[in-house]
């Protein structure tokens, strides 16, 4: 997988490059280091300080994975809604989740960490004082959170100690409530319900 790291902090950029390289990712470049002319990344790992329209336009086929570097969640949410971002990593993401996020995003799916999903659902006013999103049950809310994190039905079933069939039934009801036809559409609707 070709990964371009475009993060404002040079030390963090280099540390991530070394971590990825040591773990089998052999096509990792850091923006501004070496010759990136002609380099066509599959994923661009960026942060709030470096993301802009020029970056996105410069790599139109790349998936954008935003790293939360500790800025307030409202700024992250604004950024998510302002740019075509395919995923977000929280400040406490461990390496196995980084690997999963890179894979999920490179495959065209959406990756959003749990804390950002909770911010959308709870702090952004999507959840009413009664704890409902327009009639969404607490179980459906849990499933939405896992969907937004890129989990499969089987993985959700394992985590919630449910059958895969039950998860699928919940998802069908959720899709109907949100008038969504796919997981990515559901995620977009949840984010835009702000």
Fold of 2-112: Rossmann fold (3.40.50)
- Indicate the pLDDT class of residue 102, thresholds 50, 70 and 90: very high
User: Are 2-112 and 117-192 equal in CATH topology?
Assistant: no
pTM above 0.85, yes or no: no
* Residue indicated by tokens 């052999």: 26
**Which pair of structure tokens corresponds to residue 121?**
């659902």
Of 186, 193, 123, nearest in space to 151 by CA: 186
Q: In this predicted model, what pLDDT tens digit does every residue of 104-157 receive, in sequence order?
A: 999 988 888 776 666 666 554 444 333 445 567 888 888 988 888 778 899 999
Q: If one looks up domain 117-192 in CATH, what number appears? A: 1.10.10.10
pLDDT in tens, 54-71: 888 888 899 999 988 777
Q: How far apart are CA 6 and CA 166, in angstroms?
A: 41
Would you kindly state where each structural domain of the chain is located, as residue ranges?
2-112, 117-192
CA dihedral for 84, 117, 153, 185, sign (positive or negative): negative
Q: Which two tokens stand for residue 143?
A: 């499933």
φ, ψ for residue 100, nearest 5 deg = -65, -40
């Amino acid at each position: 997988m070709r990964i371009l790291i475009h993060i404002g902090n040079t030390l963090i950029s280099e540390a991530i490059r070394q971590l990825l390289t040591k773990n089998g990712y052999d096509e990792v470049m850091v923006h501004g280091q070496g010759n990136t002319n002609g380099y066509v990344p599959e994923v661009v790992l960026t942060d709030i300080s470096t993301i802009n329209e020029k970056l996105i336009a410069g790599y139109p086929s790349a998936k954008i994975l935003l790293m939360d570097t500790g800025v307030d969640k409202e700024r992250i949410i604004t950024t998510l809604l302002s740019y075509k971002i395919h995923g977000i990593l929280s400040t406490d993401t461990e390496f196995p989740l980084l690997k999963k996020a890179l894979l999920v995003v490179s495959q065209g799916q959406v990756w959003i960490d749990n804390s950002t999903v909770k911010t959308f659902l709870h702090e952004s006013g999507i959840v009413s004082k009664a704890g409902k999103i327009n009639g969404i049950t607490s179980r459906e809310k849990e499933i939405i959170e896992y969907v937004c994190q890129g989990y499969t039905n089987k993985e959700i079933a394992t985590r919630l100690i449910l059958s895969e069939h039950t998860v699928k039934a919940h998802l069908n009801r959720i899709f109907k409530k949100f008038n969504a036809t796919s997981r990515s559409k559901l995620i977009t609707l949840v984010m835009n319900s702000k």
